[in-house]
Amino acid sequence: MSKTEQKTYWRSLEDLSRNDAYKEYISREFPEDAGELKDGYSRKNFLQIMGASVALAGLAACRKPVQKLLPYHEQPEEIVAGIPLQYASTIPVKDSGIGVLITANEGRPTKIEGNPDHPGSRGATGIFHQASILDLYDVDRSRSPRQNGEQRSWGDFVSFAQQHFGDSSRRVAFVSEASGSPTFNRMKAEALSRFPNAAWATWEAHGPQNVLSGTELAFGTKLRPHYRFDRADVVLSLDYDFMSLAPDTVRSNMDYADHRRVSQTSDSMSRLYAVETTLSVTGSNADHRLRIKASEMPAFIAALGAALSGSVSGLDAFSGISNDFSQHSWISVLAQELADNSGNSIVAAGEDHAPEVHAMVAAINAALGNAGSSVEYLETGFHDDSYNPNALAGIAEGIRNGDFDTLVIIGGNPVFNAPADLDFAGLIDSVETSIHLSSHIDETSRLTTWHVNRAHYLEYWGDATSYEGVASVVQPLIRPLFDGKSEAEFLYALINGESGEGYDIVRETWSDVITSEFNSRWNEVVHNGIHDGEGFPVRSVSIASGMAAAVSDYLANLLPSSSDDIELVVRADTKLFDGRYANNGWLQELPDPITKITWDNVAAMSPATAERLGVRARKFGETDYDLITIETGDASVTMPAWILPGHADNSITVSTGYGRTNIGKVADDIGHDTFVFRTTSNMQVHPAVSVSMAGRTYPIACTQNHNQMEDRPLVREATLEEYRANPTFAPDMVYVPGRQNGGNPPNLFNDQLFPSHQPQWGMAIDLNACTGCGVCTIACQSENNIPVIGKREVVRNREMHWIRIDRYYMGDQNDPQVVHQPIPCMHCEQAPCEMVCPVAATTHSDDGLNQMTYNQCIGTRYCSNNCPFKVRRFNFFNYAKNWLEIDEDPDIIQMAMNPDVSVRFRGVMEKCTYCVQRINRAKIATKNETGNSIKPADGTVKTACQQACPSQAITFGDISDDESIITQTKRNDRNYVMLEELNIRPRTSYLAKLRNPNSQLA
Amino acid sequence: MSSNSGYVKEAPLVKGNHTFSSITALVADIVEKPTPFWWYIAFGISNLLMGLLFLMLGYLIWEGTGVWGLNNTVAWGWAIINFVWWVGIGHAGTLISAVLFLFRQGWRTAINRFAEAMTIFAVMCAGIFPAVHVGRIWVIYWVFPLPNQMQMWPNFQSPLLWDVFAVSTYFTVSLLFWYVGLIPDLATLRDRVKSKLAAKLYGAFALGWTGGNRQWQNYEKAYMLLAGLATPLVLSVHTIVSFDFAVSIIPGWHTTIFPPYFVAGAIFSGFAMVMTLMIIARKIYGLQDIMTIDHIEKMNIIILVTGWMVGFAYIMEFFIAWYSGVEYEKFAFVNRATGPYAWAYWIMMSCNVIAPNFFWFRKMRRSITVSFILSIVVNIGMWFERFVITVTSLAQDFLPGSWAYYSPTWVDVLTYVGTFGLFFTNFLLFLRFLPMIAIAEVKMVMPQADPHYYDEDGNEPVKETEELNEPNTNS
């Protein structure tokens, strides 16, 4: 690990693309013209071409890229050049899918939006969904199958499969990702029946296995808990980060926000309690938050169960339990609240907690009568024994015993993310034949005998089920860029020894689902992006007899973590998850919702722990942070320490997914690999680790340097009670002369509002709904062609995001309250930026937009200086060029660009436009339809940020229209304008945040 | 002596019992004699630094503004600081030659040529920065109101545009003023130099000056008119430069005291720079009789006065910030003195407000060493004043979430260092090839120029030859 403090980040994307070592690697792996190899070439021919192409590789840099322009010989139906089309599809993520609409410009997908008809999306998306379009255009994706590191064709693989798997007595070990795809699960069943000696393990580093085992312990069957936040008045999250990392976050956020939406004083809100170790997105939004060590969580839940066992029946397993938490003030309050709200409360624990923890939580939910109402236990039908938490260990054991001759790994990356003590790399070596289907040549693919390149979900036919079980189809939008294959096609080849078309395989599955009028109904499903069938059946549950014993066993055998020990918690990363998104520049550069760190993972700890360890708090402007060495018995990692207010004391949280090597230009050498800490016995937490200062420092690119609001009325918040007592608390916080008469203060300049001109655009952001997740930032980046600039530039505070989210800590730094505030351009009517531009490059439009004319900008940056919100972004270098020409294949990443938005050159200023391209498209359409009006119908123009937001915090529309939603929203009592006293009259306003605290815990 | 008149006689402006011709020789010989060796060394070093400047500018234009330390929050840094600093220095020349001329301050003649040259070169250094700090220098001409088919005019509301006009006007008038003042002396050189080529060149620029009555009459009228024209410019340039900040809404910039405060600061730093250069030049070229210790004392008094004007402004800014009741304003100023850039603030305070107080003491005012050191200290302080204004206000403005710390890169630093190369290259050329003292004007303030020796009541004075001819002992 000693090399980690070296220059582990590249200075700029440009630099990176000139990295000689990487170039050499590329030329070795993908020689020019080698892709043209056809079947039937002899080995001699192959070597000739290899030789020639290696020689040519050196010249590649001199060659001008050949761009082919192919005009349509016949105009394809539906396509009008310049008019994007939307197609419905589904993004499969782990064992559920989310329905999306994909915008395609002339055949290339450019933007992902939620499918309003899909229950998992309802029009919104999460950061992973928004960013996944960039994965399609990832130039580092594997471009062909490989055998022992040498390039092969798909045909080669199929003939290998035919020969190898022709023998059905093969002892095959399958390791796959979790998947809710009906087709995949059909192929899985077929494979298992074709190879009777086979075994199957489902492996997700941060997956549903523990939850499923928990419900199995509690109820006797593997059931998927579906939390209905729309029905819950009290939510207790035990490390359950449903706003960021948990499955089904989009739906959860939406339901949760809907249940807390306040438009008048009589509205009610649900109440969220969060008990957690690190400060998560969910915890930062909680009404009450308690920080405890992760190793104390089981005891906390047991104490809660014990307290509840007095008032609700069915918790006999807990009666008599007494521990350190029994007398904790939270326990009695929570027990009271939950009992009072039985049937409409939720208790949920984070996925990585042990099965027994989930069993306790399930039992509590069942006893409270939540099961069937606010918590639905779904029987998915595909969560078989392969989903056991120890299934992978079972496979490993089998391989070690020589039970298997073939290892088939379908997706995933176990060499990187399997428990370290399984030594997966060693296992691969010890089986005769190993095959890995993956999108990149990753840690696992490099070791397996065969690698098959996997297609992106925008490239193949497939299907998926939503979290609650509604099936939908994965529709390809583009032919596979690199001839990748889907899991179904891959499995089909293994089973049948021949190549199958994904389309046919999926349709075969669906022929069981759609029993009549197949073709028309199928087209309907593909078109709508959702099948109108039922979801998974909701099971009524009763607590299984064995649960009490299992739980008490577990509690008795818990490794004690004395309060002085420093525990280590390994957690999924909010941006890279388990590393699967590591090569995605948008996600790497998205500031973490809490720490605001980009391009790195850190060891987060509380201020008290930092002091104990000697980690120094950084002053304003310092970018180098202390490195610490964390040692468990088996692993040691030196990584930067980060002081995180609100973290539990004597606990360190690290996130996974970083520290990749040789994966791709973006991911390589970014952050530190923390999967090395995970072992089968310590998957989530090491109760005691030793930590020492490494004595060196490391630069961190954090986009927010100051975390306190300095008592300024920027984010305004009150409790629900205070709001009811004084509904206009938010605008009242600042005295503005002239406002009391409903007017504006006097003004030296001509008003830039054109009341006679309709529409007049405005935006409102409901801080009560915003969770700070960051999807608006990614959606904006995707819509507006915002370049990725790399760590060095972010360290210099030059991030380019047009909408950022400011996060402030308030109160005690050990236990702070947290607020999030998205900040786009405010489109001030009296815009300070406009007055100071010497060349009039930023001006006001008739419909109230503060416009930036890139062509006219000479780059004095005076506008940015004079912007009180600092939302303007300057192209200090030629970021767009560096980003779009990151590789020898610039055409690929350029395909992700939105043709309606200019790509900005160096030296010009840019900023949020309220998605002017969308506004103008709607205006043109309206004009075409009506002949004279240019005022689109209310709600037809949605900005990218608004559209993506799962909690629907952003409202946008015509403020000159009395009936529009935005006007209604802005009439809310809580509506206020930041820095109103400057009389710049921003068009973007905020609705003040409300919290709903419990007076007993105040 | 005091007993018979009660009138304190002013010290003569030129010491050393010089005659007209010895004054001419003293100044003109510098140009006519062979180039001294030290000059080549100094010129070489200056040239290297100037080369560095062009290298840095080339690198900047090639790579982009990102080579500087700027960020999203602090979008103006050293470039703007250097611009304001050099423009400020460029104030002394025109002030000395125009304002003091109109106020009939005879002592200005010893330093006006020198100071005006400094002004022109300083404004040249300053002018580089607004041009190169933009993102797209190749379209910088868009700031000029050039007719075009798009009917796209610059935005006349923008102080940056006012800057373009203010600085270019100031430069033009200063250059003109300087040149007009040079004409009689160029003629003197034309008549004295031995080289034919030099005589031709000096002659061409002397515009056929013969020193006739008629010429002198026209010349003095023109000089007077130019002085009248230049005087408001002295005030306007730095007023408008201050508008770059004052017109904005950023706390710490948005201040009505800026125009007078900037002008005072400019005079402060300009005089300090003249002092620095003058003390070196009078020593090297033996001009102690013309640039006397009395001159130095007078300038030190101006430095003391303007230093206190600047100090008053610093204190007044604090008062107004408190008095306004605006929390952002209050924070901006308290933060300057106590925040992350407090070091810069206290350098500024000690250099600009504390250091000049030495000049309350006559002994200090008349000490060459103290004057020299303090003149440099003042210019360091004035650089930091611009740093404090520009950077601290931007770095921590309204929204704490976007606060960012600014620090320069090596390119910033070397560019600034490079401007000294440009300045001294020009200045050394000036010292070598042009009369650094306005010969004709100095002669006008010599006792010999007023042969009647009347006292202030118009009486024929007692001849005090001994006193007049008293050798200069103060240098």
| Full DSSP string of A294-359 | GGGHHHHHHHHHHHHHTTSTT-TTTTT---TTTT-HHHHHHHHHHHHTTTSEEEEE-TTS-HHHHH
Question: CA angle, corner A806, sides to A654 and B332, nearest 5?
Answer: 120
Asked whether residue A886 falls in the same domain as residue A909, the answer is yes
Contact at CB, A859 and B400, closer than 8 angstroms:
no
Q: What is the pLDDT of residue A535?
A: 87
Q: With contacts defined as CB-CB under 8 Å, which chain A residues touch B161?
A: 838
Q: With contacts defined as CB-CB under 8 Å, which chain B residues touch A981?
A: 326
> In chain B, whose CA is at the least distance from the CA of A704?
B401
Which of A560-569, A697-706, B179-188 is predicted least confidently? A560-569
Q: With contacts defined as CB-CB under 8 Å, which chain B residues touch A806?
A: 399-402
- Select the residue of A859, A866, A870 nearest B402 (Cβ to Cβ): A870
Is the four-CA dihedral A925, A929, A932, A938 of positive or negative sign?
negative
Asked whether residue A835 falls in the same domain as residue A887, the answer is yes
The per-residue DSSP string of A502-521 comes to HHHHHHHHHHHH--SSHHHH
- Select the residue of B63, B142, B401 nearest A806 (Cβ to Cβ): B401
Q: Which helix (H) or strand (E) holds A437?
A: strand A433-438
Beta carbons of A779 and A947 less than 8 angstroms apart:
yes
What's at A46, amino acid-wise?
A: F
pLDDT of A4 over the 50 cut: no
Q: Does B77 touch chain A (CB under 8 A)?
A: no
Which of A654-658, A686-690, B9-13 is predicted least confidently? B9-13
A430 φψ region: left (φ > 0), alpha (ψ -120 to 50), beta (else): alpha
What's the domain range around A645? 564-702
The architecture that CATH gives domain B6-140+154-451 is Up-down Bundle (1.20)
Asked whether residue A166 falls in the same domain as residue A248, the answer is no
Asked whether residue A232 falls in the same domain as residue A346, the answer is yes
Answer yes or no: is A749 within a domain: no
Q: What is the pLDDT of residue B7?
A: 62
Distance from CA of A932 to the nearest CA of B (A): 27
Distance CA A750, CA A741 (A): 20
Asked whether residue A277 falls in the same domain as residue A169, the answer is no
Contact at CB, A823 and B401, closer than 8 angstroms:
yes
Average pLDDT taken over every residue of chain A: 87
Query: In terms of DSSP bridges, do strands A406-410 and A375-378 run parallel, antiparallel, or are they unpaired?
Result: unpaired
How crowded is residue A810: how many other Cβ atoms within 10 Å of its Cβ?
Answer: 16
Chain B residues 37-66 with CB within 8 Å of chain A: 63-66
Which pTM was predicted? 0.88
Tell me what ipTM this predicted complex has.
0.90
- Going by pLDDT thresholds of 50, 70 and 90, the confidence category of residue A106 is confident
Contact at CB, A836 and B157, closer than 8 angstroms:
yes
Region A225-234: what's the mean pLDDT?
92
Taking alpha carbons only, the member of A751, A755, A803, A767 closest to residue A983 is A751
The per-residue DSSP string of A216-282 comes to HHHHSS--EEEE-TTS-SEEEEES--TTTTSTTHHHHHHHHHHTT--SSTT----EEEEEESS--HH
A225: β partners? A377
Asked whether residue A240 falls in the same domain as residue A176, the answer is no
> What does the H/E/C string look like for A774-807?
CHHHHHHHHHCCCCCCCHHHHHCCCCCCCCEEEE
Q: What is the pLDDT of residue B458?
A: 61
Q: With contacts defined as CB-CB under 8 Å, which chain A residues touch B241?
A: none
Q: Does A840 touch chain B (CB under 8 A)?
A: yes
- Select the residue of B65, B72, B143 nearest A797 (Cβ to Cβ): B72
Distance from CA of B248 to the nearest CA of A (A): 6
Q: Does B133 touch chain A (CB under 8 A)?
A: yes
Q: What is the pLDDT of residue B466?
A: 45
- Select the residue of B76, B152, B402 nearest A861 (Cβ to Cβ): B76
Contact at CB, A870 and B140, closer than 8 angstroms:
no
| 3-state SS class at A374 | coil
Q: Does B369 touch chain A (CB under 8 A)?
A: no
Q: What is the pLDDT of residue A886?
A: 66
Please report, for chain B, the start and end positions of each structural domain, with discontinuous segments joined by +: 6-140+154-451
pLDDT of A647 over the 70 cut: yes
- Select the residue of B72, B143, B407 nearest A873 (Cβ to Cβ): B72
Distance CA A68, CA A87 (A): 26
Mutate to test the interface with B, among A12, A700, A839 (most CBs of B within 10 A): A839
Q: With contacts defined as CB-CB under 8 Å, which chain B residues touch A864?
A: 72, 75
Residue with structure tokens 């020789």?
B25
The model's pLDDT over A799-817, given as tens digits with 9 standing for 90+, comes to 999 999 999 999 888 889 9
Distance CA A253, CA B19 (A): 94
Q: A with B: how many residue pairs have Cβ under 8 Å apart?
A: 179
- Going by pLDDT thresholds of 50, 70 and 90, the confidence category of residue A54 is very low
- Select the residue of A622, A708, A868 nearest B397 (Cβ to Cβ): A868
What's at A732, amino acid-wise?
A: D
The model's pLDDT over A118-163, given as tens digits with 9 standing for 90+, comes to 988 989 999 999 999 999 998 889 999 999 989 999 999 999 999 9
- Select the residue of A706, A860, A982 nearest B403 (Cβ to Cβ): A706
Contact at CB, A869 and B140, closer than 8 angstroms:
no
Asked whether residue A336 falls in the same domain as residue A449, the answer is no
Q: With contacts defined as CB-CB under 8 Å, which chain B residues touch A705?
A: 403-405
The model's pLDDT over A160-206, given as tens digits with 9 standing for 90+, comes to 999 988 888 889 999 999 999 999 999 999 999 999 989 999 999 99
Would you give the distance in Å from CA A163 to the centre of its chain? 41
Q: What is the pLDDT of residue A60?
A: 39
Beta carbons of A779 and A956 less than 8 angstroms apart:
no
> How many domains does the structure of chain A reveal?
5
- Calculate the CA dihedral of residues A162, A165, A169, A172 and round it to 10 degrees: 180
Asked whether residue A924 falls in the same domain as residue A940, the answer is yes
Identify each DSSP E strand in A589-735 by its residue range. 597-598, 603-605, 624-631, 636-643, 651-655, 685-686, 690-699, 701-702, 717-719
Distance from CA of A909 to the nearest CA of B (A): 9
Q: DSSP code of A834?
A: H
pLDDT of A633 over the 90 cut: no
pLDDT of A375 over the 70 cut: yes
Backbone angles phi, psi at A796, to 5 degrees: -85, 15
Answer yes or no: is A16 within a domain: yes
Q: What is the pLDDT of residue B457?
A: 65
Asked whether residue A462 falls in the same domain as residue A410, the answer is yes
Q: Does A838 touch chain B (CB under 8 A)?
A: yes
Asked whether residue A834 falls in the same domain as residue A961, the answer is yes
- Going by pLDDT thresholds of 50, 70 and 90, the confidence category of residue A819 is very high
pLDDT of A72 over the 70 cut: no
Beta carbons of A10 and A599 less than 8 angstroms apart:
no
Contact at CB, A838 and B143, closer than 8 angstroms:
yes
A201: β partners? A175
Mutate to test the interface with A, among B152, B158, B335 (most CBs of A within 10 A): B158
Q: What is the pLDDT of residue A749?
A: 67
Contact at CB, A869 and B398, closer than 8 angstroms:
yes
Q: What is the pLDDT of residue A559?
A: 64
Q: What is the pLDDT of residue A627?
A: 93
Distance from CA of A958 to the nearest CA of B (A): 27
Contact at CB, B394 and A832, closer than 8 angstroms:
no
> What does the H/E/C string look like for chain B?
CHHHHCCCCCCCCCCCCCCHHHHHHHHHHHHHCCCCHHHHHHHHHHHHHHHHHHHHHHHHHHHCHHHCCCCCCCCCCHHHHHHHHHHHHCHHHHHHHHHHHHCCCHHHHHCHHHHHHHHHHHHHHHHHHHHHCCCCHHHHHHHCCCCCCCCCCCCCCCHHHHHHHHHHHHHHHHHHHHHHHHHHHHHHHHHHCCCHHHHHHHHHHHCCCCCCHHHHHHHHHHHHHHHHHHHHHHHHHHHHHHHHHHCCCCCCCCCCCHHHHHHHHHHHHHHHHHHHHHHHHHHHCCCCCCCCHHHHHHHHHHHHHHHHHHHHHHHHHHHHHHHHCCHHHHHHHHHHHHCCCHHHHHHHHHHHHHHHHHHHCHHHHCCHHHHHHHHHHHHHHHHHHHHHHHHHHHHCCCCHHHCCCCCCCHHHHHHHHHHHHHHHHHHHHHHHHCCCCCHHHHHHCCHHHCCCCCCCCCCCCCCCHHHHCCCCCCC
Distance CA A335, CA A308 (A): 5
Q: Does A875 touch chain B (CB under 8 A)?
A: yes
The CATH number linked to A319 is 3.40.228.10
Q: Does B146 touch chain A (CB under 8 A)?
A: no
- Going by pLDDT thresholds of 50, 70 and 90, the confidence category of residue A46 is very low
Residues in chain B where the model's pLDDT stays below 50: 1-2, 465-475
Contact at CB, A865 and B340, closer than 8 angstroms:
no
- Select the residue of B140, B340, B401 nearest A619 (Cβ to Cβ): B340
Contact at CB, A621 and B76, closer than 8 angstroms:
no
Asked whether residue A595 falls in the same domain as residue A687, the answer is yes
What's at B233, amino acid-wise?
A: L
Q: What is the pLDDT of residue A450?
A: 92
A454: β partners? A485
Q: Does A11 touch chain B (CB under 8 A)?
A: no
Query: What distances in angstroms separate CA A307 from CA A37, A334, A337, one per listed residue?
Result: 70, 9, 12
For residue A684, how many C-alpha atoms fall within 13 Å in the half-sphere facing its CB? 22
Q: DSSP code of A577?
A: B
State both tokens at A59: 């010249």
The CATH number linked to A860 is 3.30.70.20
- Going by pLDDT thresholds of 50, 70 and 90, the confidence category of residue A35 is very low
Mutate to test the interface with B, among A619, A700, A705 (most CBs of B within 10 A): A705
Chain A residues 775-834 with CB within 8 Å of chain B: 793, 796-799, 804, 806-808, 821, 823, 832
> In chain A, whose CA is at the least distance from the CA of B139?
A858
Q: Does B409 touch chain A (CB under 8 A)?
A: no
Asked whether residue A604 falls in the same domain as residue A698, the answer is yes
Query: What distances in angstroms separate CA A318 from CA A307, A338, A367, A730, B347, one per listed residue?
Result: 8, 16, 11, 46, 68
Chain A residues 688-717 with CB within 8 Å of chain B: 704-712, 714
Answer yes or no: is A137 within a domain: no
The model's pLDDT over A856-915, given as tens digits with 9 standing for 90+, comes to 999 999 999 999 999 999 999 988 888 777 666 777 888 888 999 999 999 999 999 999
Distance from CA of A833 to the nearest CA of B (A): 9
- Going by pLDDT thresholds of 50, 70 and 90, the confidence category of residue A750 is low
Q: Does A872 touch chain B (CB under 8 A)?
A: yes
pLDDT of A36 over the 50 cut: no
Query: What distances in angstroms separate CA A543 from CA A302, A369, B95, B410, one per listed residue?
Result: 16, 12, 94, 69
Which of A319-323, A965-969, B421-425 is predicted least confidently? A319-323
Distance from CA of A804 to the nearest CA of B (A): 9
Q: With contacts defined as CB-CB under 8 Å, which chain A residues touch B139?
A: 858
Q: Does A877 touch chain B (CB under 8 A)?
A: yes
Q: What is the pLDDT of residue A740?
A: 65
Contact at CB, A864 and B161, closer than 8 angstroms:
no
Contact at CB, B250 and A865, closer than 8 angstroms:
yes
